């Protein structure tokens, strides 16, 4: 090899990606995992359970960072503005990536601002009534809603939340009227439901379980494609012939800033999907009635997009436009 050939070869080698010259394999340090709620509660529990198992699989530590406030907007903005190097991830879920941007103007794009990493899983929602309301099944509920002529009060965890939009979807299907009462969270909404101040609600199953077990509320029907094994006597809406509820879930996934490297995303997705099938993690997620739902990044992106489009369409039809 002459001197000119050597110089060209050397220059070419130096211009190659640093696969062999030293860039540490991903991940080489701790990963920040933003959970867009305050500490405690179901979403925080999910994030900590998943990252504990995920960190062992990746051989790195996840640092869970709770960023509550503004309905998840602060967390979304922080994630969006982070370097897309795989060291900042967010637990994107139905509120941040679907229902909130569907019902109000948010300072991020739920599709374009993030890189989809993968789905964690979902839990069904359940239509419940105060145990003293004189209905035992869905047929009786539908008849009761029409008879009351708009005097039924239903509670939600907040305006624009999934618990709000689900009942608005049900109102469409039943062609009936009910009055929405928005609360700051599902706990105060349940307090008034149990007290009889409201008559119905559409919470996630995990939040409803204690009240179903003590008999203060009654389950009418659940979302999803199959009955929940914890409450096998409660039918699905699909069984009842009511469309639009078979794929509705309170879901949780993982996203990063837009522009993440495809190889990094694959590493994260492969390892996440591997831990989601571990019995130990599945048992932990069962506490929140969550079924693991491993997906590819594209499958998760499609799922989140379709959910956003569903609720944006409903918000427009039901004239739901929130300012905050």
Enumerate the domain spans of the chain. 28-121+251-317, 126-222
CA distance 181 to 195: 14
Give percent above pLDDT 70 in the chain.
93
Per mean pLDDT, which of 174-178, 292-296, 319-323 is the most reliable? 292-296
The residue among 315, 13, 302, 32 whose CA lies nearest residue 166 is 315
Q: How do residues 30-70 score in pLDDT, each as one tens digit?
A: 999 999 998 988 899 999 999 999 999 999 999 999 998 88
Q: pLDDT per residue over 63-73, tens digit each?
A: 999 998 888 99
Domain boundaries 126-222, corresponding CATH code: 3.40.190.10
Whether 119 shows a pLDDT value over 50: the answer reads yes
Predicted pLDDT of residue 41: 85
Q: Distance of CA 1 to CAs 8, 15, 16, 78, Å? A: 11, 20, 21, 53
- For residue 23, what pLDDT is reported? 61
Q: What is the pLDDT of residue 323?
A: 80
Structural contact between residues 258 and 201, judged by C-beta atoms closer than 8 angstroms: no
28-121+251-317 and 126-222, same CATH topology: yes
181: left (phi over 0), alpha (psi -120 to 50) or beta: beta
**Residue 13 scores a pLDDT above 90:** no
Mean pLDDT of the chain: 92
Phi, psi for residue 169 in degrees, rounded to 5: -65, -40
- Residue 324 pLDDT grade (very low, low, confident, very high; cuts 50, 70, 90): low
pLDDT tens readout for residues 181-223 = 999 999 999 999 999 999 999 999 999 999 999 999 999 999 9
Q: pTM for the complete prediction?
A: 0.88
Peptide bond into 251 cis (omega under 30): no
**CATH of range 28-121+251-317; options 3.40.50.720, 2.40.50.150, 3.40.190.10, 3.40.190.150:** 3.40.190.150
Confidence of residue 124 (pLDDT cuts 50, 70, 90): very high
Query: What 3-state class would DSSP assign to 174?
Result: helix
Instruction: Give strand ranges (E) for the chain.
Output: 31-35, 62-66, 88-90, 114-123, 126-130, 153-156, 179-182, 200-201, 217-222, 250-257, 291-292
Q: pLDDT tens digits, residue range 132-190?
A: 999 999 999 999 999 998 899 999 999 999 999 999 999 999 999 999 999 999 999 99
């Amino acid at each position: 090899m002459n001197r000119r050939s050597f110089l060209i070869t050397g220059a070419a080698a130096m211009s190659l990606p640093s696969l062999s010259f030293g860039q540490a394999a991903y991940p080489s340090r701790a990963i920040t995992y933003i959970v867009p709620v305050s500490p405690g509660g179901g979403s925080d529990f999910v994030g900590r359970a998943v990252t504990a198992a995920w960190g062992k699989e990746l051989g790195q530590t996840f640092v869970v960072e709770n960023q509550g406030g503004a309905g998840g907007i602060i967390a979304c903005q922080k994630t969006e503005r982070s370097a897309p190097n795989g060291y900042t991830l967010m637990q994107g879920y139905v509120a941040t990536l679907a229902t909130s941007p569907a019902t109000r103007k948010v300072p991020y794009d739920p599709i374009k601002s993030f890189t989809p990493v993968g789905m964690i899983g979902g839990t069904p929602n359940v239509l419940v009534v105060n145990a003293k309301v004189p209905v035992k099944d869905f047929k009786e509920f539908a008849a009761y809603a029409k008879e009351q002529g708009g005097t039924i009060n239903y509670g939600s965890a907040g305006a624009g939340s999934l618990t709000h939009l689900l009942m608005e979807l049900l109102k469409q299907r039943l062609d009936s009227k009910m009055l929405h009462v928005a609360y700051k969270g599902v706990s105060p909404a349940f307090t008034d439901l149990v007290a009889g101040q409201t008559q119905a609600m559409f919470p996630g199953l995990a939040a409803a379980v204690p009240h179903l077990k003590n008999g203060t509320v009654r389950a009418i029907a659940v979302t999803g494609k199959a009955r929940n094994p914890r409450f096998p006597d409660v039918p699905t809406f699909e069984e009842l012939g009511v469309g639009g509820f078979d794929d509705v879930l309170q879901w949780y996934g993982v996203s990063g800033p837009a522009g993440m490297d495809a190889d990094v995303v694959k590493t994260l997705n492969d390892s996440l999907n591997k831990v989601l099938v571990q019995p130990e993690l599945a048992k932990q997620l069962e506490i929140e009635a969550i079924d693991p739902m491993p997906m590819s990044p594209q499958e998760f992106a499609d799922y989140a997009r379709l959910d956003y489009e569903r609720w944006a369409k409903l918000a427009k039809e039901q004239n739901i436009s929130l300012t905050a």
